[in-house]
Amino acid sequence: MPSSKFTEFINGAKATIPMIIGAIPFGIIFGTLAEPSGLSIWGAMAMSLFVYAGSSQFIAVGLLATGVGPVIIIATTFVVNLRHLLYATALVGKVSHLSQGWRALLAFGLTDESFAVVNSRYLGRSDTVYAHWFFLGSIVAMYSNWQLCTWLGIGLGELFPNMTNWGLDFAMSVTFLGIIIPYLRNKPMWLAVISAAAFAMVLQDLPNQLGLVIAALSGICIGYASQQIEVRIGLHKATSGVIKATSDVIKSTSANKGSQ
Amino acid sequence: MNETMMIAGMAFVTFGIRYVMFAMAGRIRFALWFKQALGYVPPVVLSAIIAPLILMPQGYIDLSLANPYFWAALVAAGVGFWRQHLLTTIVVGLVCFVLLKWTMM
């Protein structure tokens, strides 16, 4: 028997709790950063209400603080959020039977966090009649928490103006780190991630988050190219061949040494 | 005014990216190379965001004991690979970070 709409909704919200724990400090620090960056209180709240994309909100606030104009901020938001296209591509088969209104609602809430939770729901269980209620439950939980934390952060920022020095921004880093780890299952992915990280650090001083954009594009190209190489010449075979040849060389050298 | 425009623009591009596939309900098909390249986007963008935050919080690469971001991230990554459980990774990372920050004060 399929689960009821209500059970699915509650389960979706429950499954999102780990993500919420990571998002609490993240949302609060976003709220506290708003004022020092020059964003109004209403602007900060409106960003959480209507954009609802944590990492790009952080980046926007950082860019605002350095006096960058709206066009560049919007363009950066586009690049940073392009990953959501992949999430939508992965889930479109599960939602295409729903009404356009449902699909718009679910798309609005398609964050990294809800995607991770909802995708494993679809992969894990075959009874998906009311799984869109699970999806909605995850979104409602994540969204309400994000609004609450933004609002709290704005208030705390007024009370403790130096809160931005507490290092709560680590919450975002550790959440993203946790999301990256399951992707690291093959060599091209490792190469892509390591090179993107290296480029981002080397190019950090470029203006307008250009370093981030170049780093991301380079990482994607390097990952894709090494995947192609791996496929075409069979990197696995080549690697095992090299390892075997090396061990043969080592054996023969030690045999030589033994005979001397 | 500038602020309203900026937020409206950010909301528009973000929702557009998230909605276009759902709106077309599978009537858009991407080429294989595009889909494969897209597969790298999430971890690559996320790592490009966090690498400078973790490894160079003061603006230069700092792997010394004085950098709690690096050590907490290292412990969190270890736990992440070992347990493969997101909540554990986040909680251990945060606790470790707070302890390091606190002992340094």
As a whole number of angstroms, the distance between CA A255 and CA A136 comes to 67
Question: Is the per-residue pLDDT at A100 higher than 90?
Answer: yes
Question: Is the per-residue pLDDT at B3 higher than 60?
Answer: yes
CA dihedral A38, A41, A42, A44 (to 10 degrees): 70
In A, minimum Cα distance to B53 occurs at A173
Nearest partner of A119 among A141, A100, A134, judged by Cα: A134
Mark yes or no for CB contact B40/A112 under 8 Å: no
Q: Are A174 and B97 in contact (CB under 8 A)?
A: yes
The verdict on B40 touching A (C-beta cutoff 8 Å) is yes
- CA pseudo-torsion sign A110, A112, A117, A121: positive
Per-residue confidence (pLDDT) for residue A260, from 0 to 100: 46
Listed in sequence order, the residues at least 6 apart from A145 whose beta carbon sits closer than 8 Å to its beta carbon are A20, A23, A24, A27
As a whole number of angstroms, the distance between CA A11 and CA A15 comes to 6
Q: Could you say which of B5, B80, B91 has the minimum Cβ distance to residue A181?
A: B80
Mark yes or no for CB contact A220/B18 under 8 Å: no
**pTM score:** 0.71
Summarised one tens digit per residue, pLDDT across range B16-32 is: 999 999 999 878 788 88
Looking at every residue in chain A, the average pLDDT score rounds to 86
The verdict on B5 touching A (C-beta cutoff 8 Å) is yes
Summarised one tens digit per residue, pLDDT across range B48-87 is: 988 998 999 888 999 988 899 999 999 999 999 998 877 7
The single-letter DSSP state of residue A142 is H
Mark yes or no for CB contact B15/A96 under 8 Å: no
Give the mean model confidence (pLDDT) for residues A69-86.
85
- CA pseudo-torsion sign A10, A14, A19, A24: positive
Copy the structure tokens of residue A83. 């990953």
Question: Chain A, 52-91: which have a CB under 8 Å from a chain B CB?
Answer: 52-53, 55-56, 59-60, 69-71, 73-74, 77-89, 91
